[in-house]
Structure 1
Amino acid sequence: MRMGLLGTGPWAQAVHAPALRGHDDLEFVGVWGRRPEAAASLADRHGTRAYDDVDALLADVDAVAVALPPAVQAELAVRAARAGCHLLLDKPIATTVPDGRAVVEAAERAGVASVVFFTTRFQSETEAWISEQGAAKGWFTARAQWLGAVFTSDSPFAASPWRREKGALWDVGPHALSVLLPVLGDVRRVAAAARGPRDTAHLILEHAGGATSTLTLSLTAPPAAAGALVELRGETGVTVLPNSSTSALDAFARAIDALRTAARTGRPHPCDASFGLRVSEVLAEAEARLAGDSPAQ
């Protein structure tokens, strides 16, 4: 598979480009970015070509990996699908439902495969736990806390305009939903949503399987309080999402393999663009509920 990279930011530098260069079963064809000088620098570090014209890159590859803000990703994913490129997308696929739906429809019309990189779903230990709990029955409730310190530390993502605008709901909310939905079932409705300190959001979800879940999401937690926790309680007892030793780089390599398999077999991956759209739909419903709540002081 010939793959290109769209994007040159911190995530592309730390994960996407190294994983593409290091993969034995693909050709890393080139990089395009909104800043040509950044694309040239990243391409030079990884022994590939920088493209000034995104459509020229799309014409030269079988697939693209995207590391761009959601609104930019959605527009370019549609163009890539129309050019016949398989899609390895980042979460969220879009921060509006129409943009997400456009990506899904373009991929379906073009007959291209898609995978959305929800990191936890591609780490070996957590992937196995999610599959095991999804096969179990009788879940009663779950709680998920995804607390980041992006804006309270020296994180390289602190300068991200879209994260400052959309906050934790859209940045770490997809991670929490990517774990809960395959275990508890689809979200029937967002029963409640309330604001916490700064960008913190609290959600209560009702799931198709009959269980409820509570989510606490933040990018502004004190660094000492940051971390992720998912706890399930049901007929089989209590279980907690395990820690993973799989790095983001190795997880992304597994996502590449998942895209290659989906492209070869024609069988959709569980984390395809349609799943990414469903995540965006739930978050949009939560966002609408939060719009009627006053920020905590």
Structure 2
Amino acid sequence: MRIGLLGTGPWAQLVHAPALSGHGELDFAGVWGRRTAAAKELAGRHGTRAYDDVDALLADVDAVAVALPPDVQADLAVRAARARCHLLLDKPLAVTVPQGRAVVEAVRAAGVASVVFFTSRFHPEPKAWIAEQAGREGWFTARAQWLGAVFTGDSPFAASPWRRERGALWDVGPHALSVLLPVLGDVRRVAAAAHGPGDTVHVVLTHVGGASSTLTLSLTAPPAAAGADVELRGEAGVTLLPESSEGAVPAFVRAADALLAAARTGRPHPCDATFGLRVTEILATAEALLARSAD
């Protein structure tokens, strides 16, 4: 499969490009970016071609990986799907429901495969844990904390305009939901949402299976307090999401494997654009509650 990369920022440099160039079943065919010089530099580093015209890249490949802000990603994903390109997307799929829905509709109309890179779903230990807990009944409640120090520590993403504008709800909220939804079931109601210090938000959810969950999300945590954990409590007792023993690049390689499998078999992956849209819908509802609470 010939695959192109859309985006040249830190995530593209640190994760996407190394994973794509080292993948044995992918031909890393080219890079397009909004900054031409950055695209040339990244392409040269990985022995591939830089494209000035995104449509020219779409015409030359079978699939694209996208490492761009979510509003830019959504529009280009629609464009790529219409060009019959399979989609390896990043979270969040979009930051508005109409944009997310447009991606899903384009994917369905074109009959292409899609995978959204929710990192924990492609790490072996968390993936196995999620599958194990999803097979159990009687969950009572869950607590998810995703606390980053992006704006308080030394992060390559500190200058990200979309993260500064949209905050933790949209950056790390998708990670928390990607773990909770397959275990507790879909969200029946976003019961409450409140602001905390910095960009911190607290969200309370009720799930179709009867359990409730709370999310605490931040990109402005003190570095010493940063980290992620998920705790489930129910009839089976108490269990914690295990940490992964590896970085993001191997996980992204598995996401590419998942895209290959979905393209070959026609069977949707659990983390496809439709799942990404559902995450966007839940976060958009929480965002609306937060806006009302601030008035």
With normalisation by structure 2, the TM-score equals 0.99
1:63 aligns with 2:63: yes
**Could you list the runs of 5+ residues in structure 2 that have no partner in the other structure?**
none
Q: Secondary structure at the match of 1:34?
A: coil
Which residue of structure 2 lines up, in the alignment, with residue 154 of structure 1?
154
Partner of 1:72: 72
How many residues in Structure 1 have an aligned counterpart in Structure 2?
Answer: 295
Relative to the length of structure 1, the TM-score reads 0.99
| C-alpha separation in 1, matches of 2:75 and 2:187 | 27
Shift of 1:294: 3.3
Query: Residue 47 of structure 1 aligns with which residue?
Result: 47
Amino acid at match of 1:15: V
- Give the partner amino acid of 1:252: F
What is the deviation of 1:284? 0.2
Question: How many Å separate the matches in 2 of 1:10 and 1:235?
Answer: 43
Identity across the alignment (%): 79
Aligned to 2:108: 108
Aligned mates of 1:137, 1:246 — CA distance in 2: 30
In the alignment, which residue of structure 2 is the partner of 1:122? 122
Alignment of 1:195-214 (within 5 A): 195-214=195-214
Letter matched to residue 189 of structure 2: R
How does 1:1-297 map onto structure 2 within 5 Å?
1-294=1-294
Q: Deviation above 3 Å: which 4+ runs of structure 1?
A: none
Residues of 2 paired with 1:40 and 1:294: CA distance? 44
SS at match of 1:28: strand
Letter in 1 for 2:174: P
For 1:197, what is the secondary structure of its paired residue?
A: coil
Distance 2:281 2:55 in 1: 29
Once the two structures are superposed, residues 2-45 of structure 1 have per-residue CA deviations (whole angstroms, 9 ceiling, x without a partner) of 00000000000000000000001110000000000000000000
- What secondary structure sits across from 1:179 in the alignment? helix
Structure 1 unaligned segments of length 5 or more: list them.
none
Distance 2:171 2:290 in 1: 16
Q: Is the 8 A contact 1:124 1:246 kept in 2?
A: no
Equivalent position amino acid for 1:187 in 2? V
Q: Displacement of 1:246 after TM fit?
A: 2.5
Cα deviation, residue 247, structure 1: 1.5
Report the Cα distance in structure 2 between the residues aligned to 1:288 and 1:182, rounded to whole angstroms: 24
